[in-house]
Structure 1
Amino acid sequence: MIIIYHHKNKVVEVENDQGFISFQQKNTIEVLFEAAEKFENHFIIWCHIDLKDCLSSESLSDIFHHRKIMASYNIGEKFFLNNAIGYIEESVFLNVNKNVTYPTWMMSSWVGGLHASVLKALKNDFRKAKSFDYFLVSLGKLASVKGLLCYSEPQLLNNKQVSLIEYKDNFFVLFQFVKQHYKTRWSLVLFLNLILYERKIKLFPLLYGLFFKKREIRNDSLNTIEVSSSKKVIDTGTIDVIIPTIGRKQYLYDVLKDLTLQTHLPVNVIIIEQNPNSESVSELDYLVSESWPFIIKHTFTHQSGACNARNLALSQVESEWVFLNDDDNRFEANLLENALKNISLYGAECITTSYLQNNEVFKFKIIHQSGIFGSGNSFLKSKFLSSVKFNMALEFGYGEDADFGLQLRNRGNDIIYFPELKITHLKAPMGGFRTKFVFPWENEGEFPKPSPTIMYVKQKYFSLEQISGYRTLLFIKTLKGKSLFKWFNFYTESKQKWNLSIKWSKKLL
């Protein structure tokens, strides 16, 4: 490890295992790149000089367990980019839970680190940066979608109760960042939202930001960096598979046949069969009439609902890992074996796969931190099942997958997407005896918008700025095609629907 101690964008001292190195009084960013060239097989750690005694040196090897990890920790409540960035970004990476290891590109100069090979790969894209904080946030934002795994990591410090100067809101920097990292229209959306929700007219910062060019890095910049995690996440390697099903007898049979061909067989396949018809019985006769190379745990219930079915299945998991599957999936014989290989390679404890429908274009081809969670195409270490479950408040609605993924992230568990692990989602027609679930708000005269289940997830996990930005975009999208003379009435109507959605989301909470 190379540790760079800095103050006011200048290096104070640099040390490694052999002692101190002479880089003093140089620009911190320049020293990062110089150290990367000189110590190309090392992790480069930065730390504000006032935090030197708080740096948890003994935790560094556990935090940086492979070369494509970038981690930092922000002291204080405010990040370098102020909270207004939430007006234009809805992602799960923004509202950081600082108590756990949390995936985010919002890096900090207080303390952090990354591997020299990452700096060497990106030196041509970032060397001109002047502000250390801006450099780190920009690198995190752009490289996180190219395969760099970025985290807020509280374990970097063994004492976080340190009084340091808070970042001040700088709207010139904010608009510069938005122009360089988003499409130009988002600068205008940010400007509009600041007027709507904060009564701030930031015309000069808007104009200032427009002078900057968009920043990008090549798709293959980080491809040459090998990943081999030192973190052991697999012990027995046993896998249970859960499958909720309703009225898809043949589709489920095909899924089971795919599982019988696996080069790494599951131990248990847990099937929750639903049919709300009180006089119905199971139609899955082949579970008994045929022999299977794994144990089948079959539960038949008259209570329908995917959340309930998945929770029932998860409560029966016995193996080290669980594969959350669906009853209309198809996959190759090496899926489970390759999933474990990638899990071991990255030291990951939750992964998700490519999940395309037939004839859908394969776009996302880089391993990266996923902003979504798929309840039909994910692998999860079963030790987390005692603290997460599918939220019954969202049954029959929308957002249960997002809620489950956010539960995991807020417990310190990242979700890594592996594009080469492929599951085809057939999107089979609904089967079985199904009746439309009627939500209580559907009986009222005015229908809430957005859906209260979506609002529930927003209110529970996202910042006020993110919710407000979502509201603005929702209004703009539904405004299309409306007559100019009806805009005021439409605004009043939209406000009523929004407030109604908030009312029902609170009842769900």
Structure 2
Amino acid sequence: MIIICHHNNKVESIIAYESSAYLDVCNESIAQNIVRLARLFPDDLLFWYHKDCQEDINWEALPELFNHKKILLSYGGTTNYIPSEIGYVDESLFVNPDKESVYPTWQMSSLVGGIYGGTLNALEADKLIDTNFDYFLCSLAKIGMPHGLLCYNEPQLLKKITNRSSGEAGIYSLFKFVKEHYRARWILLLFVNLLIYERRFPVLACLYTVFFKRKKPDVKQLDKIQMELKTKSRVSHSLDVIIPTIGRKVFLYDVLKDLSKQTIIPKKVIIVEQNPLEGSTSELDYLEKESWPFQIRHLFTHRTGACNARNQALQHVEQEWVFFADDDIRFEKDFLETAFKQIGKTGNSAFTICCLRKGDKPVSANIFQWTTFGSGCSIVKREAITDLRFDDRYEHGFGEDADFGMQLRNKGCDILYLPSPELLHLKAPVGGFRTEVMLEWNNDRIKPKPSPTVMLFKLRYNTKEQLRSYKTTLFLKFYKHQEHKHPVKYCNNFKKSWERSIYWANILRAGK
């Protein structure tokens, strides 16, 4: 490990941890020193900290925290370097990390953190150098995350939560960051949103961006860095499967057959069959007529809804892992075996697996940090979801899977996307999400826009700036689909629909 101590935006000392030898400090920026050290020590962890944090560093925890080489950790105290206005261009959950728990984010900090030298080289960090170390780190994470670099806010780097901060970027740095890491049109949207919602007119900051271009380093070398744990532990293969189903008898049978042919057989399959018709009974006769190599727990209910069905199933989970499965997927006989091999590489507890319709192209060939949660294509450790439930305020709407994912992240459990193995999603024409359900707002004279369940999710998890940006983009998106193009009339109608969406979302919010 190479330890870099800095103060006043300059490197004060560099120490080789194992030998306690002091290394030369170059009269350059912190970022330039880090990049130089990465070339000299590609196999070593490069660990930096601000001089004021020296007494609080949790040295004993570092070997476990940096358990593989495809990781970037930092902790920045109470604030983010890139300010909250970034929400006007970025609606992702990575913008505003929970500062008190481990949380996926590209908001890195110079206060304390680390990355392996070889990983820094693979990201072509020399092309990202900036005089401000915080800017350099945020740039590194923003570019690396989509390609499989796991980036986290990690408070365990220090022995205690601190109120210290490494500062916040100004308006010029914000516009520069947007220009270098997002499409050019987002510069205009940032400017417009600041003008509309904050009555600010940052025309000079906007013009300042003409001196910069988008950063696109070649990160293909990152693929060659394997996500192999240094301290490996055997991953248990004990697994329960939960499947909510409605009106898909034939499709569910195929799923059960695929499970029965697995090289790793599940211990139990929990099926929640829904049929809203009074007096109806189960149509799944093959559950009793045929012999299955796993226990089947069959629950029947007249109440429809995927949230309720999955919550019922979760009460019967007993094994170490849970496979959340749809009732219209297909997979190869080595699906679970391959999944557990991938899981064993990461040490993580929650995974959404590549699930494609026929003809679809994969999102990525890399394991990376996923932005949502696939409630029909995920494998999660039972201990991570012991006290979690699918929020029934989203029932028959949109957002229950994304909300469940946020519950996991707020517990400190990241969700990784597995590009392999793959699931085939048949998108069967009947099922629970296609049952006609009358929601309270369906008869509202003013139709809420967006859906109140979508608004509920955004009110709960988005920043103020992200919600405003969503409003702007939704306004622009739907304008071209209007029959009446009169801008004033459209603006008034949109405002009313937005307000009704917030009204119903707040009613849903108060319901729990």
TM-score, L = length of structure 2: 0.95
- Where do 5+ consecutive residues of structure 2 fail to align? none
Alignment pair present for 1:373 and 2:373: yes
Q: CA deviation at 1:435?
A: 4.6
Match in the other structure for 1:457: 457
**Which one of the candidate residues 70, 74, 77 is aligned to 1:75?**
77
Q: CA deviation at 1:278?
A: 1.5
Letter in 1 for 2:89: I
Q: Match of 2:241, SS?
A: strand
Letter in 1 for 2:34: L
Q: CA separation in 1, counterparts of 2:106 and 2:143?
A: 8
Deviations 1:235-273 (A, max 9, x none): 532011111111111100100111111111111011111
Contact 1:240 1:318 in 2 (8 A): yes
Q: CA separation in 2, counterparts of 1:148 and 1:432?
A: 37
With 356-365 and 307-316 compared, the bigger mean Cα shift is at 356-365
Deviations 1:333-356 (A, max 9, x none): 111111111111011111111111
Deviations 1:267-317 (A, max 9, x none): 101111110112111111111111111111111111110000011111111
Q: CA deviation at 1:482?
A: 5.1
Contact 1:270 1:297 in 2 (8 A): yes
Q: CA separation in 1, counterparts of 2:13 and 2:137?
A: 19
Match in the other structure for 2:101: 100
Contact 2:235 2:340 in 1 (8 A): no
Task: Call closer, same or farther: CA 1:43–1:219 in 2, change over 3 Å.
Answer: closer
Deviations 1:32-64 (A, max 9, x none): 123223322221111011111111111111211
Q: Match of 1:498, SS?
A: helix
Match in the other structure for 1:213: 213
Runs of 4+ in 1 over 4 A off after TM superposition: 231-235, 431-435, 481-485
Match in the other structure for 1:256: 256
Q: CA separation in 2, counterparts of 1:489 and 1:321?
A: 53
Q: CA separation in 1, counterparts of 2:87 and 2:128?
A: 27
With 283-292 and 218-227 compared, the bigger mean Cα shift is at 218-227
Q: CA separation in 2, counterparts of 1:121 and 1:21?
A: 26
Question: What CA RMSD, in Å, does the superposition of the two structures yield over aligned residues?
Answer: 1.8
Match in the other structure for 1:426: 426
Contact 1:104 1:150 in 2 (8 A): yes
Deviations 1:72-107 (A, max 9, x none): 111223x11111100111111112111111000111
Q: Match of 1:360, SS?
A: coil
Task: Call closer, same or farther: CA 1:121–1:453 in 2, change over 3 Å.
Answer: same
Alignment pair present for 1:172 and 2:146: no
Q: CA separation in 1, counterparts of 2:128 and 2:90?
A: 26
Q: CA separation in 2, counterparts of 1:277 and 1:482?
A: 38
Q: CA separation in 2, counterparts of 1:6 and 1:385?
A: 40
Q: CA deviation at 1:233?
A: 6.5
Q: CA separation in 1, counterparts of 2:22 and 2:137?
A: 23
TM-score, L = length of structure 1: 0.96
Q: CA deviation at 1:200?
A: 0.4
Letter in 2 for 1:508: L
Letter in 2 for 1:450: P
Q: Match of 1:47, SS?
A: strand
Q: CA separation in 2, counterparts of 1:485 and 1:38?
A: 62
Task: Call closer, same or farther: CA 1:260–1:198 in 2, change over 3 Å.
Answer: same
Alignment pair present for 1:237 and 2:237: yes
Q: Match of 1:176, SS?
A: helix
Q: CA separation in 1, counterparts of 2:143 and 2:448?
A: 37
Match in the other structure for 1:49: 51
Contact 1:322 1:381 in 2 (8 A): yes
With 336-345 and 29-38 compared, the bigger mean Cα shift is at 29-38
Letter in 1 for 2:49: C
Match in the other structure for 2:350: 350
Q: CA deviation at 1:197?
A: 0.8
Deviations 1:4-25 (A, max 9, x none): 1111221111221321422336
Contact 1:247 1:433 in 2 (8 A): no
Match in the other structure for 1:86: 87
Contact 2:245 2:431 in 1 (8 A): no
Task: Call closer, same or farther: CA 1:249–1:175 in 2, change over 3 Å.
Answer: same
Match in the other structure for 2:406: 406
Q: CA separation in 1, counterparts of 2:229 and 2:433?
A: 48
The count of corresponding residues between Structure 1 and Structure 2 is 507
Task: Call closer, same or farther: CA 1:349–1:230 in 2, change over 3 Å.
Answer: farther
Q: CA separation in 1, counterparts of 2:281 and 2:258?
A: 25
Contact 2:128 2:139 in 1 (8 A): no
Letter in 2 for 1:94: V
How many percent of aligned residue pairs carry the same amino acid? Answer: 44
Deviations 1:203-234 (A, max 9, x none): 01011113211101325130111221145575
Q: CA separation in 2, counterparts of 1:125 and 1:351?
A: 33
Alignment pair present for 1:23 and 2:15: no
- Where do 5+ consecutive residues of structure 1 fail to align? none
What pairs up with 1:277-288 in 2 under 5 angstroms?
A: 277-288=277-288
Contact 1:125 1:217 in 2 (8 A): no
Q: CA separation in 1, counterparts of 2:163 and 2:492?
A: 47
Q: Match of 1:386, SS?
A: coil
Q: CA separation in 2, counterparts of 1:127 and 1:217?
A: 8
Q: CA deviation at 1:364?
A: 2.2
Q: CA separation in 1, counterparts of 2:181 and 2:371?
A: 18
